[in-house]
Amino acid sequence: MRKFGLIGYPLSHSFSKKYFTEKFAQENITDAVYELYELPDIAQLPKLLQNHPEICGLNVTIPHKASVIPYLNQLNDAAREMGAVNVIKIDKNQQLIGYNSDYYGFLHSLKRHLQTWQATTPMLKALVLGSGGAAQAVKAALNFLKISYQVVSRQSNLGANIIAYQDLNEAYLTDYQLIINTTPLGMYPNIEECPPIPYNLLTMQHFLYDLVYNPQDTLFLSKGKAKGSKTAHGLEMLYGQAEKAWEIWTM
């Protein structure tokens, strides 16, 4: 039996096990299972692999996307560039190779939404809320689409192109119409949280994309909808990145 799974902590919010279990059933894949492996500390990864030698592929989620890198034997170019890994393939020589499928998932989902919203990318500028693992994939996709962006972070010493939440004023909200939440704020079970942006400045011209997919109607998106902004949740990205992960594990 081939084992696949997800490492991260906590994992109570995750849809991945349900997604892959249903996929295996629908596609009559009878020699594979998908499990959740809660790892509070990434240093527990070697032990996990020792205990489960049948594991041939893993997804990586919050908070290990960057900290997992020292435990890998190889990185593909895109994952190296982003400094974030969300897919590990374990080859027949037990080599651990890191990839990033969040990039593909986000890129395809955003492109589809931009078409639906009839938003023209040369005009669009984006605010990327948060600077963690998923933000690296989002930034790479925005670069590919030639959408310029500004990162908004709690940390003030992250260098150029990064501002603090307190800096978000009317000028920024007028200039930047696409707002992408890459923070876990609003994710189950903390559904009463949302990124601290000036929601009163949102308009019908804004597009809010939340990477959070559980719940789908986050407070961030609800506040945008209340102001007439267009919104998208993270489920489509989740499916896109999961299918890309499967392609990587089975190629």
Q: Does 98 bind ligand NAP (CB under 6 A)?
A: no
Identify residues 1-60 at the interface with ligand NAP (CB under 6 A). none
Residue nearest to ligand NAP (CB): 132
Instruction: Give the whole-angstrom CA distance, residue 183 versus residue 132.
Output: 8
Q: Does 101 bind ligand NAP (CB under 6 A)?
A: no
Give the residue, chosen from 39, 72, 102, 245, that forms a contact with ligand NAP under the rule CB under 6 A: 102
Q: Does 99 bind ligand NAP (CB under 6 A)?
A: no
CA distances from 97 to 19, 68, 73, 88, 166 (A): 23, 11, 6, 5, 40
Give the residue, chosen from 187, 202, 219, 245, that forms a contact with ligand NAP under the rule CB under 6 A: 187
Identify residues 114-143 at the interface with ligand NAP (CB under 6 A). 130-135
In this structure, are residues 126 and 148 in contact, taking their beta carbons and an 8 Å threshold?
A: yes
Tell me the closest approach of the beta carbon of residue 210 to ligand NAP, in angstroms.
8
% helix / strand / coil in the chain, to the nearest 5? 35, 20, 40
Q: Which amino acid is at 122?
A: P
Please identify every residue annotated as catalytic.
65
CA distances from 209 to 41, 94, 177 (A): 30, 38, 11
List residues near ligand NAP by CB under 6 A: 61-63, 65, 102, 105, 130-135, 153-155, 182-185, 187, 211-213, 234, 237-238, 241
